[in-house]
Every structure is written in C-alpha cells, then in structure tokens.
Amino acid sequence: MRYLDPIGACRNLWRHRELIIRLTVQEVLQRYRGSYLGAVWSFITPILMLSVYAFVFSVVFQARWSEAASTQRPGEFALTLFAGLIAFGVFSEAVNRAPSIVLNTPNFVKKVVFPLQVLPVVAVGSAVVNSLVSSMILAVASLVLLHRVSPTLVLLPLAYLPLVLLTLGLTWFLASLGVYVRDISQAIGFVTQVLFFLSPIFYPVSAVPVHLQFVLHLNPLTAILDGFRRTMLWGTTPAWASWAALTLGTAIVAQLGYAWFMQTKSGFADVV
C-alpha cells in the first residue's frame, strides 16, 4: 500500500498541524463549556480522585505496592496507582471514542478537501492534554506526600511516546472500522474493561503467579505503565532496550493504523 511510508505520514500530519492544534484546543475547551467552573474541573477531578485513592488504599487497606519495601510513606501506593491510571486513561479515552469519531462528524466526511486523518490525532491529543494536568497534580502530590519530585520527570515525554503511538495507531484503525461495522463500539468497551484488569494498574506484575505473568507481558500497556512510574515516581530511567523495542513496535502499529485509515477513507461518504 502506498501509505506505508512513515516519512510521508509525518509530512501529511505536519502539513495540517495548525488544523490539528486548533481542533484539539477546541475539543479540550468544549468538554467544560457551559459549566460554571469551566476548565477548573480538569484540576478538581483528579485532585479529588487522588485524595480518595490515598484514603482508601493507604488508610483503609494499608496497601503496599511491593512487599519487599520495609517502609512506605503514606499515600505512596495511591500515587503509584494514580500514575498507572494516567497512562491507561489516555489509552481508554481515545480508543473508546475511536469507532464513532468519523460517524459523529458527517459534515467533514462530505467535504472532499477535509483531511479526515486528523480526527483521530485530535482525539488522542485531547486525551494527552487532559492527562498532563493529572501529571502535574501527581508531581505536586509526590512533593507533598513523599517530600520529593522524581529527577527523571524530565524524561516523561519518552514515556508518553510509545503510549501515543500505540493509541494513535489503534484509534486510526478503529475509527475506520467503526464506519463499516457499527457494533465495534460495544466490543471495544468490553475489551478496554478487560485490559483494565489485565494491566498492572492496581497491582504489580510480581503479584501475579509466575506461570501467568507472560499474559501481562503480552500486553504492551504493561511496559508503558512501568515507564510512567519509573519517570514520574521512582526516579529511574527507562529500561532503554525494552523502551526502544516498545517504541519501534508501537510505531509500526501507528503506521499500519494510518495506512488502513487512508486506504479505506475513500468509502466513508458512501456509508455515513
């Protein structure tokens, strides 16, 4: 297929960068339009959720992320959990929306000149922007509860890279498939729920029986979540070999998703 050209794909998206930025900002603002507090809710919600996690898991359950740790500061488990939820939230928000992205914009489909391939990019970009607010709150909470800020926080863009590539590739693919197979929305909701429990969000991989740990390692989100925690909380650099392999693999997913979308979008107008 002629769209299996990563350089060409990047050039295509770069050419429409102003449109992508404008639509992403519009979508982020639209989420809170009409509410009294507006975008302030993007700060209030994660703060409240983090407070609830800290109380439930640190005070009520007194949970530990690792039994090997002899001492654990109050709230440390909640912060570890929250870091995983930030990454998974980007993935689930965009992927769950993907099947209806094109269907919800029939006016764009009818416009021959409109680059439909930017719609999944906008959906992922909006999810990333919202997650950055939660990331800032996590950094502040780490300073308050743990009395430190991870020195590797500057490497957070590297943790985001495979997450964005994976999510973008799947969003392109599902946005196209959702036009032709309307039932895909129901299936994706179920799949993301399963992935939520098969990803080490509430528990470490070491808590799973050894003979079943391979199931979690088949899930690319496992390594992505680990990368977020390393950079945001634990102050350790990514496992570079694993990160490089993961980034390459997710880049291939992104390229295939883009190629599928571009190859099939010519038939959207006949179906929508």
**Per-residue pLDDT reduced to its tens digit, 25-78:** 999 888 777 666 666 777 788 888 888 887 787 777 667 776 555 456 667 888
DSSP 211: G
What pLDDT digit, counting tens, does each position of 152-200 carry? 999 999 999 999 999 999 999 999 999 999 889 889 999 999 999 999 9
Please count the helices (runs of H) and the strands (runs of E) in the chain.
12, 0
Q: Is residue 1 part of a domain?
A: no
What pLDDT digit, counting tens, does each position of 73-107 carry? 667 888 999 999 999 999 999 999 999 999 988 88
pLDDT exceeds 70 at position 269 = yes
Q: Is residue 271 part of a domain?
A: no
Q: Is residue 272 part of a domain?
A: no
Q: Tell me the C-alpha to C-alpha distance, in Å, between residue 201 and each of 98, 143, 158.
A: 23, 22, 20
Q: Is residue 126 part of a domain?
A: yes
Task: Give the containing element (helix H, strand E) for 69.
Answer: none
Residue 133 sits in which domain range?
6-266
Report the pLDDT value the prediction gives residue 34, as an integer from 0 to 100: 64
What pLDDT digit, counting tens, does each position of 212-226 carry? 899 899 999 999 999
Q: Is residue 13 part of a domain?
A: yes
* Domain count for the chain: 1
| Cα radius of gyration rounded to whole Å, the chain | 20
- Confidence band (pLDDT; 50, 70, 90) for 111? confident
pTM score of the predicted model: 0.91
Cα–Cα distance for residue pair 210/208, rounded to 1 Å: 6
Question: Residue with structure tokens 């909470």?
Answer: 141
Q: Is residue 209 part of a domain?
A: yes
Q: Is residue 208 part of a domain?
A: yes
Q: Which two tokens stand for residue 36?
A: 């009294």
